Chain A
Amino acid sequence: MATITIDDQQYTVEEGRNLIDAAADLGIDIPHFCYHPGLAPDGNCRMCLTEMEIRPGQFGIVTSCTIRIKDGMNFRFNSPAVLDNRKGVMEFLLINHPLDCPWCDQAGECKLQDHSFDHGRGHSRFVETKRVPPKKDLGPHITLYTTRCILCQRCTRFCDEITGTSELGVVQMGSKSEIATFEGVPLDNKMSGNVADICPVGALVTKDFLYKPRIWHYEKVDTFCPGCATGCNTTLEVLHQKIYRTKPRHNEDVNGYWMCDEGRFCYHGWQDADRLKAPLKRVDGELRQVTWPDAMDAAVGGIQAVLAVEGEAAMGVVGSSMATNEENYLLRRLGAEAFGSPRTGLDRKPDGEAWTSKSGFHIDADKTPNTRGARDMLGAGSLDDILQGIDDGSIRGLYVLGGDIGHTLSPDVAEAFGKLEFLVVHDVHRSDLAELADVVFAGAIPFEKHGTMTNAQDRVQRLNPAFPPPGGAREDFAMLRYVAQRMGVDLGGTDPAEVLEEIAGRVEGYAGLTYDLVGDQGVMKGGEEPSEAAGG
Chain B
Amino acid sequence: MSTPLEFTDAARERAAEILGRYPEEYRKSAVVPLLHLAQEEWGYVSPEAMACVASLIGCSPVKVAEIATFYPMFNKEPVGENVLAVCHTLPCALTGCAGVYDHLSKKLGIGLGETTEDGRFTLRKSECLAACDRGPVLLVNRRLHTHVSPEKVDEILENLDKG
Contacts and interface: CB of A to CB of B under 8 A. Distances in A.
A166 B69 contact: no
Interface stretch (B59-67, B90-98, B115-123): B59-67
Interface string A143-169: 000000000000000000000011111
A165 B59 CA distance: 10
A44 to B, nearest CB: 14
Given A182-B47, A182-B50, A166 B72 contact: no
Nearest to B71: A173
B62 A172 contact: no
A183 B63 CA distance: 12
Is chain B's interface secondary structure helix, strand, loop, or mixed overall?
Answer: helix
Given A182-B47, A182-B51, A183-B1, A166 B70 contact: no
A187 to B, nearest CB: 10
A166 B59 contact: yes
A183 B47 contact: yes
A167 B60 contact: yes
Interface string A180-196: 11111100000000000
Interface in A348-364: none
Contacts of B60: 165-167, 169, 182, 185
Contacts of A184: 1
Interface residues of B, number: 15
Contacts of A185: 60-62
Interface in B24-56: 47, 50-51
Contacts of B71: 173
A132 interface: no
A172 B65 CA distance: 9
B47 A169 contact: no
Interface residues of A, number: 15
B48 to A, nearest CB: 9
B98 to A, nearest CB: 20
Most buried by A among B60, B62, B72: B62
Interface in B57-104: 59-63, 65-66, 69-72
B72 A167 contact: no
Contacts of A171: 62, 65-66, 69-70
A283 interface: no
Nearest to A159: B60
Nearest to B63: A169
B69 A173 contact: yes
A172 B61 contact: no
Contacts of B69: 171-173
Given A180-B65, A182-B50, A182-B65, A172 B70 contact: yes
Is chain A's interface secondary structure helix, strand, loop, or mixed overall?
Answer: loop
Given A182-B50, A182-B51, A184-B1, A173 B70 contact: yes
A189 to B, nearest CB: 11
Nearest to B50: A182
A181 B1 contact: no
A2 interface: no
A170 interface: yes
A167 B62 contact: yes
A432 to B, nearest CB: 44
Nearest to A169: B62
A201 to B, nearest CB: 21
A166 B66 contact: no
B72 A182 contact: no
A173 B72 contact: yes
A182 B70 contact: no
Contacts of B50: 182
Given A172-B70, A182-B50, A183-B47, A166 B1 contact: no
Given A173-B72, A183-B47, A166 B65 contact: no
A184 B47 CA distance: 10
A173 B47 CA distance: 17
A169 B59 contact: no
Nearest to B46: A183
Contacts of A169: 60, 62-63, 65-66
Contacts of B65: 169, 171, 180, 182
A403 B72 CA distance: 59
A171 B65 CA distance: 6
Contacts of B66: 169-171
Interface string A198-214: 00000000000000000
Contacts of A168: 62
Most buried by B among A167, A180, A184, A185: A185
A185 B59 CA distance: 13
A137 to B, nearest CB: 15
A168 B65 CA distance: 10
Contacts of A166: 59-60, 62-63
B71 to A, nearest CB: 8
Nearest to B59: A166
Contacts of A182: 47, 50-51, 60-62, 65
Nearest to A173: B70
A167 B65 CA distance: 11
Contacts of B1: 183-184
20 contacts: A165-B60, A166-B59, A167-B60, A167-B62, A169-B62, A169-B65, A171-B65, A171-B66, A171-B70, A172-B70, A173-B69, A173-B70, A173-B71, A173-B72, A180-B65, A181-B62, A182-B50, A182-B51, A182-B61, A184-B1
Interface of A: 165-173, 180-185
Interface of B: 1, 47, 50-51, 59-63, 65-66, 69-72
Given A168-B62, A180-B62, A185-B60, 7 more contacts: A166-B62, A169-B62, A170-B66, A171-B69, A172-B70, A182-B51, A184-B1
In the A-B complex, the 3 residue pairs with the closest CB atoms: A166-B60, A169-B62, A182-B62
